[in-house]
C-alpha cells in the first residue's frame, strides 16, 4: 500500500512483498558505490521517492553488491536469450521494484510481463514508469492458475525469477515450472535458489526476519528439476560464492565468499540456475 506524502510515498508491506524493498535498496546502494556492479540508477531514484525505514532491510554496501552481482548475471542470461529470440516473451516473475526491463536494451519485438502480488504491482505501477512497447504488469500470485492463461503461448519464452523460489513451497514451485514448460513451445528458466542450509539459516537474514516472511523451498540438486518436464535441461548451476564477477565485490565480500566457498555445506547455500526446455 502507498500513502501519498508531500515528497515521498509511504509504503506499508509485510511478509514476502516487503522483502522487495531490501533487494531494491541493495541495488541502490550498489549504484551509489564508487565502483558499481549493476549501475542501476533507477533503483536509487525509486529509493529516494519511498518513505520507508530501509535500515530494516539490514542491507549493507557489501550485501548490496552481492544482490547486484546476482541481478547482473540474470540480466546477461536474459539478454543472451533475447539476442537469439528477439520475438520472445519474457515472464519476469516476482518482479518487485526491479528495473530489469529498463536495464536491458530490449528489441521492440519483445513481449514483457512483470508479475508480482497485487499490492506490489500497485506500488510498482505508481513508482516506476512503464516502458514503451509490448509491456504489462500483472498483479497475481504466481501460484494462481489464471494469469498464465492470459499470456499467449505463441513464442519462445524466458521466465526470470529472482528472489522467488525460496518463498514458495516445493509443490507450488514444481507446479509453476510444470505450467511454464508445458505451455510454451521452447524457452529458458533463469532463477536463483537457496540450498537447505540457506533455508535453515533464514532467521539470520534481516530482510526475512524483519518482514515476518518465511522461506520454504530448498534446491540442493538442480538436476532434480529435469525430471519435472520432458526435455527440461539444467545448463548452468552457478554457486553464489563463485559467481562471475565475485572479485568485484568489496574486500569484506570477497573475504566472506572465499571462506564460504571452502566450508562444506556453506558453499552450496545459494545458486543461480539456467535451464532450457
Ligand atoms: C526478495 S523480493 C525480490 C523482488 C525482485 N525480484 C528483486 O530482485 O528485487 C521477493 C519478491 O517475491 C514476491 N513473491 C513472493 N511470493 C510470490 C508469489 N507467490 N507470487 C508473486 N510474487 C511473489 C514478493 O512479493 C517480492 O516482490
Q: What is the pLDDT of residue 6?
A: 53
DSSP readout, 56-77?
Answer: GG---HHHHHHHHHHHHHHHHH
For residues 165 and 216, give the distance between their C-alpha atoms in angstroms, rounded to a whole number: 8
pLDDT tens-digit readout, 127-164: 999 999 999 999 999 999 899 999 999 999 999 999 99
Cell numbers standing for residue 55: 535500515
Q: Ligand 1: which of 167, 191, 194 to mutate, most ligand atoms within 8 Å of CB?
A: 167
Contact 233, 276 (CB under 8 A): yes
Identify the band that residue 265 occupies on the pLDDT scale cut at 50, 70 and 90. confident
- Residue of 49 and 242 predicted with greater confidence: 49
Q: What is the pLDDT of residue 182?
A: 97
For residues 63 and 252, give the distance between their C-alpha atoms in angstroms, rounded to a whole number: 10
How far CA 136 is from CA of 91, 101, 264, in Å, comes to: 10, 11, 43
How far CA 170 is from CA of 35, 135, 233, 251, in Å, comes to: 37, 29, 19, 36
Measured from the CB, is residue 167 less than 6 Å from ligand 1? yes
CA of 262 to the centre of ligand 1 (A): 30
Other CB atoms within 10 A of residue 1 CB? 11
CB-based burial label for 165 (10 Å; 0-12, 13-18, 19+):
buried
> What ranges do the domains of the chain cover?
71-276
Hey, whose CA ends up nearest to atom 24 of ligand 1? 17
Other CB atoms within 10 A of residue 141 CB? 15
Q: Ligand 1: which of 66, 71, 95, 96 to mutate, most ligand atoms within 8 Å of CB?
A: 96
> Any idea which architecture 71-276 has in CATH?
3-Layer(aba) Sandwich (3.40)
Q: What average pLDDT does the segment 29-51 reach?
A: 96
Measured from the CB, is residue 52 less than 6 Å from ligand 1? no
Atom of ligand 1 nearest to the CA of 23: 9
Cell numbers standing for residue 13: 508491506
Query: Angle at Cα 22 formed by Cα 99 and Cα 203, nearest 5°?
Result: 145
pLDDT tens-digit readout, 157-189: 999 999 999 999 999 999 999 999 999 999 999
Model confidence at 214: pLDDT above 70: yes
CB-based burial label for 97 (10 Å; 0-12, 13-18, 19+):
buried
pLDDT tens-digit readout, 8-37: 989 999 999 999 999 999 999 999 999 999
Measured from the CB, is residue 94 less than 6 Å from ligand 1? yes
Amino acid at each position: 500500500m502507498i500513502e501519498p506524502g508531500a515528497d515521498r510515498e509511504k509504503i506499508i508491506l509485510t511478509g514476502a512483498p516487503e522483502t522487495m524493498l531490501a533487494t531494491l535498496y541493495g541495488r541502490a546502494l550498489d549504484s551509489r558505490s564508487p565502483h558499481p556492479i549493476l549501475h542501476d540508477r533507477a533503483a536509487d531514484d525509486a529509493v529516494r521517492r519511498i518513505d520507508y525505514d530501509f535500515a530494516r532491510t539490514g542491507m549493507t554496501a557489501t550485501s548490496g553488491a552481492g544482490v547486484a552481482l546476482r541481478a547482473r548475471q540474470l540480466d546477461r542470461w536474459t539478454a543472451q536469450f533475447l539476442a537469439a529470440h528477439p520475438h520472445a516473451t519474457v515472464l519476469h516473475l516476482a518482479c518487485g521494484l526491479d528495473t530489469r526491463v529498463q536495464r536491458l536494451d530490449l528489441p521492440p519485438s519483445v513481449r514483457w510481463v512483470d508479475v508480482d502480488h497485487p499490492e506490489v504491482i500497485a506500488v510498482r505501477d505508481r513508482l516506476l514508469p512503464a516502458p514503451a512497447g509490448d509491456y504489462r504488469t500483472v498483479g497475481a500470485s504466481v501460484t494462481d492458475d489464471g494469469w498464465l492463461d492470459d499470456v499467449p503461448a505463441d513464442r519462445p519464452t524466458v521466465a526470470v525469477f529472482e528472489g522467488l523460489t525460496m518463498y514458495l513451497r516445493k509443490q507450488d514451485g514444481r507446479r509453476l515450472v510444470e505450467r511454464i514448460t508445458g505451455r510454451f513451445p521452447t524457452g529458458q528458466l533463469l532463477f536463483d535458489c537457496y540450498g537447505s542450509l540457506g533455508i535453515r539459516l533464514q532467521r539470520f537474514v534481516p530482510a526475512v526476519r524483519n518482514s515476518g516472511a518465511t522461506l520454504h523451498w530448498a534446491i540442493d540438486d538442480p538436476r532434480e528439476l529435469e525430471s519435472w518436464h520432458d526435455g527440461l535441461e539444467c545448463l548452468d548451476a552457478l554457486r553464489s560464492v563463485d559467481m562471475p564477477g565475485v572479485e568485484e565485490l568489496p574486500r569484506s565480500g570477497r573475504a566472506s565468499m572465499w571462506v564460504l566457498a571452502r566450508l562444506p555445506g556453506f558453499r552450496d547455500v545459494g545458486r543461480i540456475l539456467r535451464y532450457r526446455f
